[in-house]
Amino acid sequence: MRFRPEQHLRRPGDFRTLREQGRRIDCGAFTLWWRVRETPSAAPTRVGFVASFAQVGGAVARARAKRRLREVFRLHQTLVPPGLDLMLVARAAVNRWAFPELAEKFSTACQKMSAAAHV
């Protein structure tokens, strides 16, 4: 499934709100922040990716980290409940872990989100 433009989290205010009001799941190589939007009906899940110099390294490493996280989301976006905002924050290990391991951690986090979002 394609990662569509309306699924991108773009505004700095959206990222700030997600950090202030959202919940966090530690996935080892990355941290997943999530929150239910005020109007979740028929709205696609929006997602943003963050890779800082301090956590990941130079430009090449940050770009690779974000590419890997985008691909994990793209392949497993059907597991994410609709109407959520997500932010995946990369750590240094994201470029060292095997891709199936990243995908497994993301799937586990999606199960936790689904259970918590419907409570």
35: three-class secondary structure by DSSP: strand
Predicted local distance difference test score (pLDDT) of residue 40: 61
Helix (H) / strand (E) containing 89: strand 84-90
Parse the chain into domains and list their residue ranges: 5-117
- Phi, psi (deg, nearest 5) at residue 8: -80, 135
Contact 89, 22 (CB under 8 A): no
CATH architecture of 5-117: 2-Layer Sandwich (3.30)
Edge to edge, what strands does the sheet with 23-26 contain?
23-26, 30-36, 84-90, 46-50
Residue-wise pLDDT tens digits, 36-75: 887 766 678 899 999 999 999 999 999 999 999 999 999 9
Report the chain's mean pLDDT, rounded to a whole number: 90
Instruction: Flag whether pLDDT at 115 surpasses 70.
Output: yes
How confident is the model over 104-119, as a mean pLDDT?
A: 85
How confident is the model over 2-26, as a mean pLDDT?
A: 88
